Amino acid sequence: MKNLDAIVPELATYIPKYNQSKTAISEAAVGWHIEHCLLVIKQITSTVAQSEPKLYKYKFNMSRFFVFLSKTIPRGKAKAPKVVIPTDEITSENLQEHLKNTYGAITYLKDCEENQYFMHPFFGQLNKKQTIKFLAIHTEHHLKIIRDILEWRQLNKLKMFFQTKFYPLHTNGLPRNEPSLQIIRNLIFRKFGVSRQSVGHGAYSRTRY
């Protein structure tokens, strides 16, 4: 998994698509996930900066162990605290401003003492190194949701493309009982000059004409 410095810039690439959503994947839109990640980084950094390193004590935590080992957070199992739930209107400009502040927070976090810590409600005390790792895992968790939303939308666009491009072929000479996959094959063959006879129902032939 990438470190926090490499993960956060990926969030920035999705800001232009902040208003895209798919409720079957997430009730929140892309912009909500971006802002939530940025708020979490800033809020936790502030908590770590105010902590007293002498009060940090390592204690084994099973939940933390498995999340850190798998580098994943189960989807739909956790509820975000109110303090890191976006409340302002989400716009591209606001997200860019949050992003700029977050880069500063990450730099500040790196300068904290090793045993300054953040108290996680399920994982217990996380020192600086553990905190940075948790933030990377948490951000990647939401990035996966964002990627899923955008992938679904892209696939839906392809579906619409196929419907508009292939349906006319279906009604202009191709048998009505011919499966959709075969219709797609036929279009590819017509487009690239490959003979239909060179293709069986199994593997494609590499014969070219």
Please, how many CA atoms are within 13 Å of residue 118, restricted to the half-sphere of its CB?
Answer: 24
Tokens 């730099």 -> residue: 107
Query: 84-88, long-range: CB within 8 Å, 24+ apart, which pairs?
Result: 84/36, 84/39, 84/40, 84/43, 85/36, 85/39, 86/31, 86/32, 86/35, 86/36, 86/39
Residue 47: closest CA among 12, 95, 84, 8: 84
Helix ranges (H only) for the chain are 4-13, 30-49, 62-70, 92-110, 128-170, 180-192
Amino acid at 144: K
Residue 207 has pLDDT above 90, yes or no: no
Which carries the bigger pLDDT value, residue 64 or residue 81?
64
Tokens 């800033």 -> residue: 42
Any idea what the Cα angle at residue 133 is, between residues 127 and 135, rounded to 5°? 100
Report the topology of domain 4-159: Four Helix Bundle (Hemerythrin (Met), subunit A) (1.20.120)
Any idea what the Cα angle at residue 164 is, between residues 161 and 166, rounded to 5°? 95
Residue 200 has pLDDT above 50, yes or no: no
Residue 192, pLDDT score = 54
Rounded CA separation 72/174 (Å):
48
Tell the burial category of 72 from Cβ atoms under 10 Å away from its Cβ (0-12, 13-18, 19+). Answer: middle
Percent of residues, the chain, with pLDDT higher than 90: 63
Residue 195, pLDDT score = 46
Q: Taking the domains of the chain in order of start, what are their residue ranges?
A: 4-159, 173-198
Rounded CA separation 120/56 (Å):
13
Q: Is the pTM of this model over 0.85?
A: no
The DSSP-derived string for 136-153 is HHHHHHHHHHHHHHHHHH
Residue 169 has pLDDT above 80, yes or no: no
Residue 116 has pLDDT above 90, yes or no: yes
- Residue 176 three-state SS: coil
What distance, in Å, lies between the first and last C-alpha atoms of the chain?
46
Residue 168 has pLDDT above 90, yes or no: no
Residue 95, pLDDT score = 96
